[in-house]
Structure 1
Amino acid sequence: MKKIVLLFILFLTVTSCNKELGKLPDNAKVEGNTILDQHTSEIALNGVYYRFANVDAGSNTTTWRDHEVLPGMCAGFLGYGYGADGAEENDNAGSGYTSLPWTQLYNLINAANGVIKGVGALSDNAFTNNRKQEILAEARFMRAYGHFKLLSLYGEWYDKSSAYGALLRTDFVTTSNVLKARSTVQESYDLIMEDINYAEANAAAEMANYYVSKWAAKALKLRILMSYGDYADAATLANEIITGSPYQLEANVKDLFYSKGLASKEVILGIQPQQNQSSYYYNLSSQYYPGASALFVAKQALKDLLAGDPRQGWLIGSENAYLPGTYYFLKYIAEGTKATTISETAYAFRLTEVYLLGAEAILRAGGDRQAAVTLLKTVMQHAGITDYTAVDNAVTTDDLLLQVYYETAKSLTGEDGQEWMALLRLPFATVQQLRPLIKDKLQYIFPVPHNEFLQNPLFGEQNKGYQK
């Protein structure tokens, strides 16, 4: 945990007060930095965004691999191009990746807590207009995002009565407060909702789409409501975002990934690459199309899912010679090309997800079936689909929910884990049918990393089915 403190202090100083995320640090010395006024509050907040983007300090590149690749592995659509990782077989304990989000997310939470504490202690008069509340809203969004991801990956989020919730951190970690027990699932949801409600109420309505706005807060709240099972409120919130926000679906979704990036009006919250990131040999998009020592690929299941879909032509590339039966995953980078700023851009929330969650929420809440169908078909239309036979032939609500899941996997695989969460919201029998490697709901979540028990013996029990 001492490392977390040091990382946060480092990232308070690798930013500029006007939030130039691509600017390299002028000075690595950090001693004596504190939050004293609006100027230093903005610097500290920028450090939180660095943790959200998971910037590697050595290469100065954003590293969103574990957001893009790991959930796709678990869902069976993405894989490692030189041999299957355990996550691809839902062997979470045998994976080389499932422990990695833990540290990344607690680094983010700790950074957010530093800002919440420091800014909260300042007088309102130290800020212009409503900036104090907006900074706190952005920091609390990040804390909610971190805790919700941790609950989703390492806690029994699907059982509100479970004791296996998240380890909730609301104070900046020091050697005196490292020891802490995990909370229950309900306690986890309560804190997450408290934070995201504050963010929704106080974040600025208009921000560049690589910073948190009230609309980004609403989009995160929508995800939370879907996991919590509050489908009626989720349907209402999705409609509010679709009808009231400034975002628009991209006419051709391929343009978002290949030519527009953050310039697309569909992006609610994205990850801006760092300066010169595209020229770094080991950037992420170079690991989708060979140019780095790692290789992340599309699996046969994704190619099969996209059969007859116009997206298959640009999402799925040539067969990977190193591992037959896998293919170059070209969502971010075209085959035969080199990395660019656009190929290095990542996406946390975009409007397509809101449409699909809205459709799912309407169906689960027993709402207007035709309204759900319209949302689903609208997403498909913007992907170039003209044949809606499968949707039209879906007789029951479960049949239509399955079609929403298929479209979610087609649209969102390789972004921020929604292909995995959408699968797990289906009935368990359906999950087993679609993903036979899942024999038990215990495989829905990852083991808590061993180091947590060494550093924090008060944490409590390891997740069921795993060893400490």
Structure 2
Amino acid sequence: MQAKNILYMIVFGLVLTGCNEFLDLEPISEETTEVGYDKEGQIEAALTGAYESFQASQYYAWDKVLFQDIRSDNHYAGGDNPEIFQFDWLTVSNTNSRLFEDWSNLYNAIAKANVVLERAPLVTDPALTETRRGQIMGEAYFLRAYHHYTLVTTWGDVPIMTAFTSSTDPEEIRPSKSTQEEVYDQIIEDLELAIDLLPDTYGSDASVNKARATAGAANALAAKASLQRPNKDYQAALDYIAAVEASGANYRLISYDHLFDGNHYNNDESILEVQYLGGAEGNWGPQMHLPPSISGNGWRKFTTPSHDLIDAYAAEGDNVRQNATVLFEAVSWVDEFWGNTPGSSIPFAYKWKNADGWASADRFYLLRFGDVVLLKAEALAGLNRLAEAVTEVNRIRNRAGLGALTAADQASQAAMMTAILKERRLELAQEGQRWDDLVRFGEAVSTMSNLVEIDLRTGQAFDYPMDASKIFLPIPQEELDRNPNLN
């Protein structure tokens, strides 16, 4: 067994090295891959390595919030990093190093899923049952779909990668972009395969069921993709959501406080979450957000809730979700939006509760049922089934201690969509959803163009230079240099 483990570590290390820079892949010999994945334990380890991308990638640890919340009207950048300010100010250059790092990490994650999909059918070890082989492939199809979804929502037209390549042929390692619709078609195709192969649960252990892709996770992501794609498919989204609701996993809404108190992960509302355990398996993201009283250090943090977000909570009287999402604290530094003098009280992102010196056990929900309920409302409203949509939104509002939607909110399809978008903001702030929501509802340009935030240093409103060209981020220059087919 020790020799097998050593062999796996060597082979998988080669895979990671070969995939680290998406369009500059080092070839992996046919002989090496043939030897490396012929045992049940080796293919299971390869799958574990594919899941590990959620923990290892900077995107899922923090840049998801940067790209979605800081880039939108939810948060300011804070901190002192010029590259991060670019996202807040909507001036992102294609030489911004975070673009290349995240692009590479996401395609690396897809490559790891592709290795599993290519090797799993060839494992002859009798210890690998056909049922488990199918599950492994279903999990890998889901992972490939999830990362392609992240790529297409971030960059728009992107290459589709459905095979791990050991070739040096420029035609294979320098692919052209596919259209958004083509990418979404591939995502749905992969998720349909995953749905057929995956169970509702793997047993009674929630720490397993919330850590691994299930049929519920695949249906939930398929619903999101059906609504996010340029040509929305409202009925398909409802069909996928019906499958989530009927799942043997019995997903349900729980107390909003429990969702984000740091003590109730792997709960009934969670569909899939990143399983940070703390220590060597810890989450460094909370240290970037939390105030000095919790993080233990006094430097300026990098995710500051905006006046516009706090005003949105106040306008709705939404104390439950604001208190779970935001914590105000006096600070020693000067914040140009909340207090232009030291000692001002400013808000901190608070959905993570424990910093633990860069090694937190706080989790990130990749998919949760509260999001699905609001997606159902959106799909119903898209089909002009407004009364049914109201019922779903009110489930979320009632959970937050708020009253039902007003008559004005449900007076028309347009009014209902506006109410749903507002509800999604209050429900999902700091969960890496806001930018995608604005794009999907066709509100990204108008929201950011009309955003009024006062820079206290000058007393002037900050100018957000938003137009349609900035809906998607630019492909990193390093990739354009490697692959002229991406231009």
Q: TM-score range by the shorter chain?
A: 0.7 to 0.9
**How far apart are residue 370 of structure 1 and its match?**
1.4
Map of 2:425 onto structure 1: 409
Map of 2:261 onto structure 1: 258
The 2-side partners of 1:272 and 1:68 are apart by 18
In structure 2, which of residues 306, 327, 342 is the aligned counterpart of residue 317 of structure 1? 327
Map of 1:49 onto structure 2: 51
The 2-side partners of 1:191 and 1:411 are apart by 29
Task: Give the secondary structure class of the aligned counterpart of 1:448.
Answer: coil
Equivalent positions of 1:130-279 (< 5 A) are 130-155=131-156, 165-174=157-166, 176=168, 177-207=172-202, 208-228=209-229, 229-277=232-280
Matched, 1:333 2:358: no
Q: Give the conservation status (yes or no) of the 8 Å contact 2:279–2:360.
A: no
Map of 1:59 onto structure 2: none
Task: Give the secondary structure class of the aligned counterpart of 1:445.
Answer: coil
After superposition, the C-alpha distances for 1:240-297 in whole angstroms (9 at most, x for unaligned) are 322445344343212111044423111000001144158x7x8211221143665322
Map of 1:418 onto structure 2: 433
Counterpart AA for 1:186? E
Q: Give the conservation status (yes or no) of the 8 Å contact 1:112–1:139.
A: yes
Task: Give the secondary structure class of the aligned counterpart of 1:92.
Answer: coil
Map of 1:455 onto structure 2: 482
Q: Give the conservation status (yes or no) of the 8 Å contact 1:332–1:343.
A: no
TM-score, length-normalised on structure 2?
0.78
The 1-side partners of 2:357 and 2:67 are apart by 21
More helix per residue: 1 or 2?
Answer: 2
Matched, 1:372 2:393: no
Task: Give the secondary structure class of the aligned counterpart of 2:353.
Answer: coil
Equivalent pairs, count: 417
The 2-side partners of 1:190 and 1:296 are apart by 34
Counterpart AA for 1:379? I
Task: Give the secondary structure class of the aligned counterpart of 2:366.
Answer: strand
Counterpart AA for 1:309? D
* Structure 1 residues without counterparts, runs of 5 or longer: 13-29, 57-61, 156-164, 462-468
Matched, 1:432 2:446: yes
Map of 1:36 onto structure 2: 38
Rg larger in structure: 2
The 1-side partners of 2:372 and 2:255 are apart by 17
Matched, 1:297 2:324: no
The 1-side partners of 2:482 and 2:337 are apart by 42
The 2-side partners of 1:445 and 1:115 are apart by 30
Identity among equivalent pairs (%): 22
Tell me whether 430-439 or 167-176 shows the greater mean CA deviation: 430-439
* Structure 2 residues without counterparts, runs of 5 or longer: 1-11, 20-31, 203-208, 339-346, 451-463
Map of 1:161 onto structure 2: none
The 1-side partners of 2:359 and 2:259 are apart by 13
**How far apart are residue 125 of structure 1 and its match?**
5.4
Q: 1:194/1:63 Cα in 2 relative to 1: closer, same or farther (>3 Å)? A: closer
**How far apart are residue 299 of structure 1 and its match?**
1.5
Q: 1:191/1:52 Cα in 2 relative to 1: closer, same or farther (>3 Å)? A: same
Map of 1:397 onto structure 2: 413
Q: 1:172/1:31 Cα in 2 relative to 1: closer, same or farther (>3 Å)? A: closer
Map of 1:64 onto structure 2: 61
The 1-side partners of 2:138 and 2:175 are apart by 25
Matched, 1:88 2:88: yes
Q: Give the conservation status (yes or no) of the 8 Å contact 2:211–2:272.
A: yes
Task: Give the secondary structure class of the aligned counterpart of 1:317.
Answer: strand
The 1-side partners of 2:259 and 2:280 are apart by 19
Q: CA RMSD in A?
A: 3.0
Tell me whether 255-264 or 207-216 shows the greater mean CA deviation: 255-264
Task: Give the secondary structure class of the aligned counterpart of 1:93.
Answer: coil
**How far apart are residue 11 of structure 1 and its match?**
12
**How far apart are residue 363 of structure 1 and its match?**
0.6
The 2-side partners of 1:7 and 1:351 are apart by 38
Counterpart AA for 2:312? L
After superposition, the C-alpha distances for 1:393-445 in whole angstroms (9 at most, x for unaligned) are 44211111111111111111222x322211112235x7404653364222110
The 2-side partners of 1:209 and 1:232 are apart by 27
Q: 1:149/1:442 Cα in 2 relative to 1: closer, same or farther (>3 Å)? A: same
Q: 1:288/1:146 Cα in 2 relative to 1: closer, same or farther (>3 Å)? A: same
Q: 1:131/1:190 Cα in 2 relative to 1: closer, same or farther (>3 Å)? A: same
